Chain A
Amino acid sequence: MLRYALLGLLAHQPHHGYELKTGLEQALGGNWEINFGQIYTTLSRLERDGLVTGTAEAEDGRGKRTYSLTPSGKADLDASLEQAVEKPRPLHDEFFIKLVIRHLAGYDDAHLALARQRQAYLQQLRELNLASASQQEDPLVSLLVEGAILHLQADLQWLGMCEERLEALSK
């Protein structure tokens, strides 16, 4: 995704690396520091593939490089944005697999695992609630937070269902 985020920023206007880093961090509500090295590796790959071009400040190829989007970079960006996301969110991936492993191992204490998982989800929900209150000014980040809250609520309901059904099975 970093690749497309960079293309997206360059669709606006050419930037040098540092501007790309701060621009991206700002778009994420200033909550996340992006690794500089990662940005440069991605940029050089994009340049190699002809999706962006870099021009150096000095004639000898030194100094800050300014990157701009090439026509095929623009085409690549648009193609990516036009595609619907086909893959569903992984459903409780890790926790579900742990439940299955428990079953394979013949452990019959799933209720303890469920209780622990509920504690973890509730704690996350609390933190996201606070984040939701503090991120109201940033519409994009607050959308992400609200989405995560809705998913957590569903996860918690699903844990209740697991508890009920596994209990019924063991009776």
Chain B
Amino acid sequence: MEPIIETKEVWKVYGMNGASVEAVCGIDLAVQQGEFVAIVGPSGSGKSSLLHLLGAMDHPTRGEVLFGNQPLHKMSDAQRTDLRAHQIGFIFQTFNLLPNLSALENVEIALRLGGAAKAERQARPLELLERVGLGPRARHLPRQLSGGERQRVAIARALANRPRLLLADEPTGNLDSKTGASLLELLRQINRQDRQTVVMVTHDFRAASHADRVLVLRDGRIRGETRLQGQDTHRALGQLLALEL
């Protein structure tokens, strides 16, 4: 099977008035169609830098990134812009919605930028908002929505053009743990039902444990990898309660 996105010995070194910061240090990773991958690491470990490389938002200093087997560095700027508009959806910690547009319009504008046909632009925004549980809130402005609701709009917007890859940078970072948990549940559902490929970076192990595969990042390097499985809540609860009596 060919991965959706792959990095080969990829580096990102920022030059800062003479001093240089090695943010991403020779990372090799491959994400397959339909996977939900979490990259977990402390602040400054290079999560956002890596995600920007995956999303064709930044150029690596060395090494390469391949999207569906196509090396990004061989593409023109126009091709990369096109890739970002059509094939990659982004979710950010701070939601990044346009403040003067309603939830519906925020989703619609993404479709417009993605060059969707008129019929699609009319029907799809509401469908997507319903999908994320915000149908009744479609006409609200971002400031009239809670943080959790705004992030749901951001998910709907990110999915507008049916991207092959959904990238999320600390999507629950500004949410309390309960709202965060329901948002992760939603991402997981979308991943399962639509076989949507998701790569999420976070510093929160709890958030990461919703993914199928967790990569641990430290100082710009992958230090560990775990595949999570099983839905055996019974065992975990049994162990807990056994301890208590």
Residues of A within 8 A of B (CB): 1-2, 5, 28-29, 31-32, 34, 115, 118-119, 121-135, 141, 144-145, 148-149, 152-153, 156-157, 160, 163-164
Interface-located stretch among B86-94, B134-142, B147-155, B209-217: B209-217
Quick one: CB contact mask for B169-185 with A, threshold 8 Å, 1 for yes?
A: 00000000000010001
Contact pattern, B 207-245, Cβ under 8 Å of A = 1, otherwise 0: 011100010101000011010111111111110111011
Contact of A127 among B181, B204, B208, B232 (CB under 8 A): B232
Could you say which of B181, B204, B208, B236 contacts A124, with CB atoms under 8 Å apart?
B236
Are the C-beta atoms of A119 and B233 separated by less than 8 Å?
Answer: no
CB of B42 within 8 A of chain A?
Answer: yes
Report whether A129 and B237 are in contact in the complex, using a CB–CB cutoff of 8 Å.
Answer: no
Are B236 and A156 closer than 8 Å at their CB atoms? no
Contact B42 A160 (CB under 8 A): yes
List, in ascending order, chain A residues with CB within 8 A of B228's CB: 122-123, 126
Distance, CA A126 to CA B232, complexed state (A): 9
Question: Are A130 and B231 interface neighbours, CB within 8 A?
Answer: yes
Q: Are A126 and B245 in contact (CB under 8 A)?
A: no
CB of A34, distance to nearest CB on chain B (Å): 8
Give B97 Cβ to nearest chain A Cβ, in Å.
27
Task: Say whether, besides A122-B209, A125-B209, A5 and B245 are in contact (CB < 8 Å).
Answer: yes
Contact of B205 among A2, A122, A132, A164 (CB under 8 A): A122
Who on chain A is nearest to B219 by CB? A164
User: Residue on B with the closest CB to A1?
Assistant: B245
Counting CB contacts under 8 A, is B206 at the interface? Answer: yes
CA–CA, A38 to B236, complex, Å?
Answer: 22
Interface residues of B (CB under 8 A from A): 42, 181, 185, 204-206, 208-210, 214, 216, 218, 223-224, 226, 228-238, 240-242, 244-245
| A154 CB → nearest B CB, Å | 10
Known: A118-B226, A144-B240. A126 touches B210 (CB 8 A): yes
In the assembled complex, 25 residue pairs joining A and B whose CB atoms fall closer than 8 Å, in A order, are A1-B244, A5-B245, A28-B241, A31-B238, A32-B238, A32-B245, A119-B226, A122-B205, A122-B208, A123-B228, A125-B206, A125-B209, A126-B228, A127-B231, A127-B232, A127-B233, A129-B209, A131-B236, A131-B237, A133-B185, A135-B237, A144-B240, A145-B237, A148-B240, A153-B204
Kindly provide the distance from the CB of B243 to the nearest chain A CB, expressed in whole angstroms. 9
Minimum CB–CB distance for A121 against chain B, Å: 8
Closest to B228 in A: A126
A75 to B141, CA, bound (A): 60
Chain B neighbourhood of A32, CB < 8 A: 237-238, 241-242, 245
Asked whether B244 lies within 8 Å of A127 as measured between CB atoms, the reply is no
The answer to whether B235 touches A127, judged by C-beta atoms less than 8 angstroms apart, is yes
Looking at the complex, which one of A31, A122, A133 makes contact with B241 (CB distance below 8 Å)? Answer: A31
Which residues from B are CB-within-8-Å of A135? 237
Once the chains bind, are B205 and A144 in contact (CB under 8 Å)? no
Residue from B206, B230, B235 whose CB has the most chain A CB atoms within 10 Å: B206
Q: Is the CB of B209 within 8 A of A2?
A: no
Q: How far is the CB of B46 from chain A (nearest CB, A)?
A: 15
- Please, which residues of chain B bring their CB within 8 A of the CB of A144? 240-241, 244
